[in-house]
Structure 1
Amino acid sequence: MAASAEGSRRSRLRLVVVQALVFSLFATLLGRLYYLQVVTGDEYTAKAASQSVREVVVQPQRGLIVDAQGRPLVTNRTSWVVSVDRTVLGRMGEERRTQLLKRLAHVVGVGKGRIERALVTCGDDGSVAGECWNGSPYQAVPVATDVPQDVALRVLEQPEDFPAVLAEQQTVRAYPKPFGVNLAHVLGYLSPITEEEYDAAQADEDTSLNGASTVGRAGVEQQYDAWLRGMPGYQRVAVDSMGRVLGDDGEVEAVPGSTLVTSIDAKVQGVVEQQLAATIARQRATYDPVTKRNYEADSGAAVVLEAKTGRVVAMASQPTYDPEAWVGGISKKELARLYSEDAGTPLLGRATQGQFAPGSTWKPFMTAGALTHGYSTDTRLACSSSFRVGNRDFHNHESAAYGSIGFDRALEVSCNTFFFRVGYDFWQRLGSDVDDVDAKDPLVDEAKTFGFGSETGVDLPGEASGRIADRKWKRAYYEQMKDYYCGISEKPQDGKTSDFVYKFAREFCVEGYAYRAGDAVNFAIGQGDTIVTPLQLARAYGAIANGGTLYEPRIAKAVVGPDGEVVREIKPTKAGSVGLPKKVLSYLDTALKGVSTRGTMNWKLAGFPLDQVQIRSKTGSAEVYGKQSTGWVASYTDDYVVVMMVSQAGTGSGSNGEAVRAIYEALYGVTGEKVDPKKTAIPGTVAPATLPTFTDDGAILPPARKKKGTK
């Protein structure tokens, strides 16, 4: 009996414990519900609401790019763009996803395979360069651009058939091409922001960039991207579980980008491009008596600068490309062509990135170095048909001889042997010890003073620095390449190695570090391993024209905000001075006039009114092993510098003389032998210092010119 009572008591105790536990659990549950619904109810309500509201980025309208007269070079147009939201797409089953992409491909006229490749993030397995998505992984991916409006409306009006598909109007770049200009290498192009760039912008708290941004990749589009891109807005929209838009929920307006005013003149640019293209076409149809075939004329460039400011008025390069090719995404095939050597590497801007031996256009700078280091304007040297250095004869062009002449006449007739003697003299007196890499060399020093061997500082990305092939460069190049060439020379010559390469390798392996007399005489006429860009050469001639100032060439003149107010004015920037005495600059100026009036450029300027428009010029024909000569004309007036070169096109004046004349005719309004100021390409001959006028209604008018007699 006692045992039974004890068991009953224990059962009741267990029941009480269970009841207490159950009560505690209910109390905890009720407390939690009270906390969630009352204490933090507002927070969770907001979170729940946010799951049905999506922020859609409203891209700003990118700023315009205009020329010095206010003519539009780059504008914007509206385009219907169809995109796919990969987040929503990922929630679908494989079969439904496949059906959707097939249906979308049929409607927008893009292959299903291409759409699928476009949806793969670049760098992931299966990504294809030029077709993959390199933007934010959280942004809808554009799969079709410039879609017809009826197609876009079908996508919008039938969301049940196109879940995860968006259709919206976006602004894309447009190129009005005033006077038919191309200007691709100056303007540049856009492409989607990469994930790395997006992450960097996030880290820097840069709100002007987002996962759907496009950014400048070349030219002024890249250089001034921060000003042109504007500030994005945001539109909050309610969506259902499949991402379909149900309605608006607020908007923050986007701020348009600023307008970039350049110093380019579209009319002059059009003339320069036409003349460069015509020169290349003409030379390709011209027989080369040296190589016994037509000239290849494979590339070329032309630059027009304001002599007194260094501003770029025109800049052209061939081969070129159509900047429209990048709008809406470039195809893999077209991208490969732009990088292809067989197509001439169209993406390479020869004016700033092409590097070529300058030939005889180099001689004015060698003259300056000589006249400030022991030689004088009274110096007379022999212009013989050849000049022997060691066991090798260095020849004058076409073996012509002019007797004993001065520097001025040597420039007029472009006498090589005259400058061979100058270069050899300095080498013999100051640098004949080939082991002395620090030997003084006035000609090398002068070239560096004129800015060669370093970037000009032009406001374009990717500029090449050129090369001064002095003693230090040659020693460094030897250290870099000796193992390669010694490897060739140490083996028996095989069928893949030409006699020239095998002989060169053997000589290089033994004494490739030595800066010998042959290097010095070649340097004096712009041959050998020294290379320059056309823009470097133009800037250096500009320093002779303006009295000795080297400018950093500038394309941009100002940044103007959406309200028409100047945000930033970009002044000409002085990079330094060449430090030449006035009498030396004056002597060079007179000698280069002689090149035009009675020297190597005269036959192309017959009948031109040189008494009214005084053109100073220097021609050049640079020899390149295994190729035809590169033709140069470098010239200037009181107002402008004009430089043109065409690779593998023959002599300087023979290839470029007519084109350079035509450019000056346009600049000064020359018809026949008369100058008509009313016919100048730029009203008033030289562009005014003032900017175009931005009116309240958004129009851009040419700069207002001051009337005569006003301050």
Structure 2
Amino acid sequence: MRQSPRDTETSSRRISRRALVLGGLQTGMLGVLGWRMHQMQVDQADQYRLLADENRINMRLIAPARGLIYDRNGVALAENAQNYRIVIVREDAGDVDAAIARLKQLVDLDPDELERALREVERRSPFVPVTLTDQRAWEDVAEVAVNAPALPGITPDVGLTRNYPMGADFAHIVGYVGPVSDYDLDRMDDDDPLLQIPKFQIGKTGVENKLERDLRGKAGSKRIEVNAAGRVMRELGRDEGIPGSDLQLTIDSGLQNFTQARLSLGMSAAGVVMDVRNGDLLAIGSAPAFDPNKFVRGISSVDYSLLTDNIYRPLANKAVQGAYPPGSTFKMMVTLAALEAGEVTPDETIWCGGYTKVGNRRFHCWKRGGHGHVNLEESLQHSCDVYYFDLAQRVGIDRIAAMARRFGLGSHFDLPMSAVTAGIMPDKAWKTERYGQDWRVGDSLNAAIGQGYVLASPLQLAVMNARLASGTAIEPRLVKSEGGIETEVRGAVSLGLNENHLRMVRKGMYAVSNTRRGTGYGARIADDTMLMAGKSGTSQVRNITAAERARGVTSNADLPWERRDHALFVAFAPYENPRYAVSVVVEHGGGGSSVAGPIARDILLYALHGGLPPLESYPSYQRDEIRVMQESLPLRGAEGGEESSRA
């Protein structure tokens, strides 16, 4: 419908009025904005320039609380302690030397520590806080806080540092943390910004190292407002991050303390206790040990030299890193291989005249005059070498090696510990690959008595022993739970062996410890409810020449320490219903039955009793000696505090 000329004129006048009103409003608003901009940029420019210079917003990382580590009963093994420190931020400090000079007027600074800190200041980004000194008293921190306006870029801070309340007892298991280094950064495939914080602590060895990422947690952050002098004006916001996961180990701290103390009497020794039912590692001892707390802040060169120069190697975890000829503790593997292959029967006897001759070479039994006729049980009871020389020739190394691997020898167990060795369980193919040589009969005879190329760790011997006792392929377990979640028990399935064969071997081990002619009879348990089955081993570390044999083999006591035989003993108890398996190796200790056997017996008794065993558990003629030994042991109190001697 067409509009009339009059309507069109009226509509045009309305639009013109609206446009004028809107245009006027826009012009007014632009005028106000222009006036305000002129006021801020010209009239108030100096004021806003001062505010911009005096107040800046900084983002700083917050290190999360490291996860705690406990034993199986909730006793703290690694905890976090408050650490008062003084830090500097280079971009806020301006003249770093002048700022530190003023700081030195307030607190004493160690010259070496300060020199290291100044190197860090130069290397790090200007906004990264660098610790000038830590582990300070509260009075020092308060002094710096009060004088903050005169100390640009220097602020007091409080953080967490690692502490190991059990000291040396868990040094080889838990390990220790230390300041992150360039070497750590080079070898780690980790872009976590926390690692760029100077003196940030990371795991260096043991569980602390192997489970580093789980224990470390995730970084938090905070936004702070600082003025031109570097003084923190206020905190604007904070994100605490995610603490690391807490770990609970399978280790029993009381048993670990006793094991460590008992092993220390052997100078250089290692021992492992394992629950045969679920694979829990209850104690992993290596003596001598060291105080891990000395490494947390960076150990001194003097203290470190004392450790590295010690011939007993306190830094090495012999229980999992050490690989030793297992000696006669290996004979159970040869026995089972022969039984499963049908190469021997329990009642068959083999004549031992003191040696076996292969070609032009004699392989000697440890008993010079021989054992006469021995059967399977007697071969273990007396540890007759000639019996096993014979079995080795019948069975062959490949079948012996296959059996030994079923029991964990030559295997690498995936545990969160440093440098866990796989040992060596050789066979024909191994020698060809390793040396480019054929396997010889003499190699089999040496392997049959746990010598030659065969090497095993105390951990592997404990696993072997636990599998013998249980008849299952149980796997060792060190972490009981992580973050409150129980870890899996692995391998508790049958080994697939004839149970009668296992029973025969256990019976032979029982005879070792509980018959008068058994090699381990002197280390027996007197309590009939806790009788153990065991096997001693003595492994040579030197060759005995024909001339020496002719004039008489030199006794260990007359040899330098490093040329003496290793002493070994493996055992499980109670015999009728096995619960614990133990292995002990005493480096250059001499006889396995006389040196390692009593240690293994004592450790087993502590595990069985859940504390220091009563004297009634020992043969009556040994009780006075045992009482003196127990009183001399540096054992911790019930709550893991200061060391104490208990009768």
TM-score (normalizing by structure 1): 0.70
Give 1:608's aligned residue.
Answer: 526
1:223 lines up with 2:210 in the alignment:
yes
Is it true that 1:467 corresponds to 2:467 in the alignment?
A: no
What is the CA–CA distance in structure 1 between the aligned matches of 2:468 and 2:279, rounded to whole Å? 12
Q: Which residue of structure 1 lines up, in the alignment, with residue 571 of structure 2?
A: 635
- Contact 1:144–1:328 (Cα < 8 Å) also in 2: no
Question: Of 57, 67, 72, which aligns to 1:68?
Answer: 72
Question: What CA distance in whole angstroms lies between the structure 2 residues aligned with 1:307 and 1:474?
Answer: 33
Match of 1:139 in 2: 128
Q: 2:256 aligns with which of 269, 281, 284?
A: 269
Give the structure with the higher percent helix. Answer: 2
**Aligned AA (2:115):** E
Q: Residues 203 and 75 from structure 1, CA distance in 2 versus in 1: closer, same or farther, beyond 3 angstroms?
A: closer
State yes or no: 1:368 paired with 2:367. Answer: no
Q: Distance in 1 between matches of 2:367 and 2:152?
A: 75
Give the paired residue count. 547
Output aligned runs, 1:116-131, within 5 Å.
Answer: 116-120=115-119
**Maintained 8 Å contact 1:105/1:112:** no
Picking from 664, 673, 692, the partner of 2:616 is 673
Displacement after TM superposition at 1:114 (Å): 3.8
Aligned with 2:502 (options 576, 585, 592):
585
Q: CA deviation at 1:63?
A: 2.2
Q: CA deviation at 1:451?
A: 2.1
Deviation at 1:61, TM superposition (A): 2.1
- CA–CA distance in structure 2, aligned partners of residues 324 and 79 of structure 1: 14
- SS of match in other structure, 2:236: strand
Residues 237 and 400 of structure 1: is their aligned pair in 2 closer, same or farther, counting only changes over 3 Å?
farther
- Out of 449, 454, 469, the residue aligned to residue 530 of structure 1 is 454
* Aligned partner (choices 536, 547, 557) of residue 480 of structure 2: 557
Give the unaligned 5+ runs of structure 2: 1-33, 42-47, 543-561, 619-638, 640-647
Q: 1:674 to 1:514 in 2, by over 3 A?
A: closer
8 A Cα contact 1:540 1:550, kept in partner? no
- Residue matched to 2:540: 623
Aligned to 2:407: 450
Q: In 2, Cα distance between the equivalents of 1:369 and 1:161? A: 80
- The 3 A distance-change label for structure 1 pair 86 and 353 is farther
- Partner Cα distance (1:617, 1:137) in 2: 64
Q: 2:357 matched to 1:388?
A: yes
Asked whether the equivalents of residues 208 and 230 of structure 1 are also in contact (C-alpha less than 8 Å), the reply is no
Unaligned runs of 5+ in 1: 1-29, 38-43, 125-132, 281-298, 428-439, 480-512, 561-565, 676-699, 701-711
Seen in structure 2, the aligned counterparts of structure 1 residues 279 and 345 have a Cα distance that, compared at 3 Å, is closer
In the other structure, the counterpart of 2:594 is: 654
User: Any conservation in 1 of the 2:473–2:495 contact (CA below 8 Å)?
Assistant: yes
Q: Distance in 1 between matches of 2:103 and 2:393?
A: 73
Give the CA deviation at 1:612.
0.9
Q: 2:519, 2:475 → 1: CA distance? A: 30
> Given residue 270 of structure 1, which amino acid in structure 2 is its aligned partner?
N
Which amino acid counterpart does residue 475 of structure 1 have in structure 2?
A: T
One-letter amino acid matched to 2:260: E
Answer yes or no: is the 8 Å Cα contact 2:540–2:564 preserved in 1.
yes
**Match of 1:77?**
81
TM-score, structure 2 normalization: 0.77
Deviation for aligned residue 1:232? 3.1
- 1:15-62 CA deviation, whole Å, 9 max, x = no partner? xxxxxxxxxxxxxxx9xx99x99xxxxxx99x9699812223222222
Contact 1:101/1:115 (<8 A) preserved: no
Equivalent position amino acid for 2:482 in 1: V
Q: CA deviation at 1:73?
A: 1.6
Q: Which moved more, 1:352-361 or 1:385-394?
A: 385-394
Alignment match, 1:358:
326
Q: CA deviation at 1:641?
A: 0.6
Change (3 A) 1:658 1:526: same
Residue 152 of structure 1: aligned partner: 141
RMSD over aligned Cα atoms: 3.4
**Letter of the aligned partner of 1:66 in structure 2?**
Y
1:623-678 alpha-carbon deviations (Å, 9 max, x no partner):
01272111011111210011111111111121122222222222233423359xxx
TM-superposed CA distance for 1:467, in Å, is 1.0
> 2:354 & 2:125 partners in 1: Cα distance?
67
| Greater alpha carbon shift after TM alignment, 192-201 vs 589-598 | 192-201
Distance 1:358 1:242, change over 3 A: farther
Which SS does the other structure have where 1:237 is aligned? strand
2:349 and 2:81 mapped to 1: Cα distance?
A: 65
Instruction: Flag the 1:465–1:139 CA change in 2: closer, same or farther, 3 A.
Output: farther
Structure 2 equivalent of residue 169 of structure 1: 158
